[in-house]
Chain A
Amino acid sequence: MVEFDSVGLRYGPDAEILSDISFNLQPGSFYFLTGPSGAGKTSLLKMLYLAQRPSRGIVRLFGEDLVSMPRHRLPGFRRRIGVVFQDFRLIPHLSARDNIALPLRIAGVSEEDLAGPVGEMLSWIGLSERAEARPATLSGGEQQRVAIARAVIARPQLLVADEPTGNVDPDMAMRLLGLFEALNRLGTTVVVATHDIHLISRIDNAQMMRLEKGRLADPTGALRYPPNRA
């Protein structure tokens, strides 16, 4: 699904902020990415959701080398990835409904075909009544729910979430985690960056990836050489 081999990342002439990152994400697995602030979690996620190419090393996604992949092929890969941003990144002049529908519209789904899924998603995140509200009029938690709905509406093969439960109450956090788990059961590989230790214990079979000072802790080699799933 995703393979990083000796990946390094630096911005400009500065020292590498990520060094020798190697792991192999198995299809249908659930991963938590943890580490102190400044460890490089967001930078690692950026490479996962194709917002950044590595400075060195090999990145393979869905079986293809992304480092040398021509730019015009990237949109096709991005449509298979759902992203929940830490700062939500909702488009401010679009309603909650239009923000959620965005990935389907970009993928060319007709208005008739997207109305049902978008309505269901709004209902699931409890914002049916506020479907036409602009992000600025939504609370932080509501915006986060819209951002998550937008990330999962197109049933991505890989879901990447950066602190997805940081702005919601514990009940909503558990519901959102339940959604991620449900997607995971349907085959989506999920990577969630979080500081919340309690969250990690809620998902059975979830694996932890810990970043410290730009390096990935993998003492047993299980991340780099995962056992074959039966």
Chain B
Amino acid sequence: MIIPRVPIQHRRLLPDRRLSGPTPWVIAILMMLTLLAAAAGIGLARSANAIGDAIAGRVTVQIVTPNPVTRAEQALALRRAAATEPYVRAARAVEPAELLATLGQWFGGENGDDPVLKSLPLPALVDVDFVGGERARQLEQLRALVAEIAPGARIIPHAEWLGPVARLIRSLAWVAGALVVLMVLASAAVVIMTARAALGTHYATIEMLHLIGATDRQIARLFQRRIAIDTAYGIALGTAVAAAILLLIGWQWARVTAGLAATASLGATGWALLLALPLLAIALAALTARQTLLAALKKIL
């Protein structure tokens, strides 16, 4: 049981005032930081996974044939041919309007109607998604197909340029995970110090209880209950503040739809994990307090 049952008459063996002083506040701060770090870690990990999934099996074929008509025909032919290949999950020709709109963000033309932009010899692009399997062989087969339909076209695997970004995001997720572990250890240290301080403060009472026949477990349960309740207050407060911050960030994040930011979300599993963390923290605090108390009591005859 996380918070042990202690008869009300036994609870009075400890004074009414909270024995741990600043402990609930320190635990609240640590819990809030733990949850924020965990949320960041989960979001980054999901983002890295999403990017990884997206880029792992995708290539873009860039057709640079000078004649625009031929270029368009080659793009269409390649899309159709690729779509029938067993190793291709999907093939999509990037519409010239889409390309112009993307480039327009840098050239200044809102609808791709900038004269300079219009004069540029833009390549035709075909995005190809592979099915799962041996990537190198699939790439070799596509290369042969491209050489046949659009000689001189370039094949650009997305992993080449987005891979480092995904790795960076994954590294940040690991850092966030390490922060969570460190803060859990710091919380355990706070509980250990609280338990030891409580034993020191109430040494005379503990000695008396021992001498009239109280067992270590009876004494430990008293303190364990009090420390678990103090810690639970701190964890509840920290969780409430962290939840408010995460909901605010989530509300703002929902408006971000562009680029990599759109891939970062917590998902149902992430929220469930975040909700489980406070309960795990209370259990860990109670267990840490119990072990600390029993170890300290063993030193007293």
Contacts and interface: CB of A to CB of B under 8 A. Distances in A.
A106 interface: yes
Contacts of A111: 9
Nearest to B16: A93
B205 A105 contact: no
A138 interface: no
Interface stretch (B77-85, B210-218, B242-250, B281-289): B210-218
Given A50-B301, A89-B204, A91-B205, A83 B211 contact: yes
A198 interface: no
A106 B216 CA distance: 12
A49 B7 CA distance: 27
Contact of A98 (B12, B215, B216, B301): B12
B211 A91 contact: no
Contact of A71 (B10, B204, B205, B301): B301
Interface in B135-190: none
Nearest to A153: B212
Interface string A82-114: 010000010101100010011101110001000
Contacts of B12: 93-94, 98
A123 B208 CA distance: 24
Interface residues of B, number: 22
Given A89-B208, A93-B15, A105 B10 contact: yes
A182 interface: no
B301 A106 contact: no
A19 B132 CA distance: 85
Contacts of B275: none
Interface stretch (A10-18, A73-81, A183-191, A214-222): A73-81
Nearest to A106: B214
Chain A interface size, as a band, is 20 to 34
Contacts of B204: 89
A51 B300 CA distance: 9
A26 B221 CA distance: 38
Contacts of B13: 91, 94, 102
A94 B205 CA distance: 11
A52 interface: yes
Nearest to B215: A75
Interface in A101-155: 101-103, 105-107, 111, 150
Given A51-B211, A93-B15, A106-B209, A74 B9 contact: no
B213 A103 contact: yes
A43 to B, nearest CB: 14
Nearest to B216: A72
B212 to A, nearest CB: 5
A60 interface: no
B11 to A, nearest CB: 11
B301 A79 contact: no
A224 interface: no
B298 interface: yes
A53 interface: yes
A107 B301 contact: no
A74 B301 CA distance: 9
A76 B10 CA distance: 19
Contacts of B211: 49-51, 78, 83
Nearest to A93: B15
A177 B204 CA distance: 27
A47 B9 CA distance: 30
A106 B15 contact: no
A107 B214 CA distance: 8
A47 to B, nearest CB: 11
A114 B215 CA distance: 20
Interface of B: 7, 9-10, 12-13, 15-16, 204-205, 207-216, 218, 298, 301
5 contacts: A76-B213, A89-B204, A98-B12, A102-B13, A150-B212
Given A75-B214, A78-B212, A79-B213, 15 more contacts: A51-B207, A75-B210, A75-B213, A79-B212, A83-B211, A83-B212, A89-B204, A94-B12, A94-B13, A103-B212, A105-B9, A105-B10, A106-B209, A106-B212, A150-B212
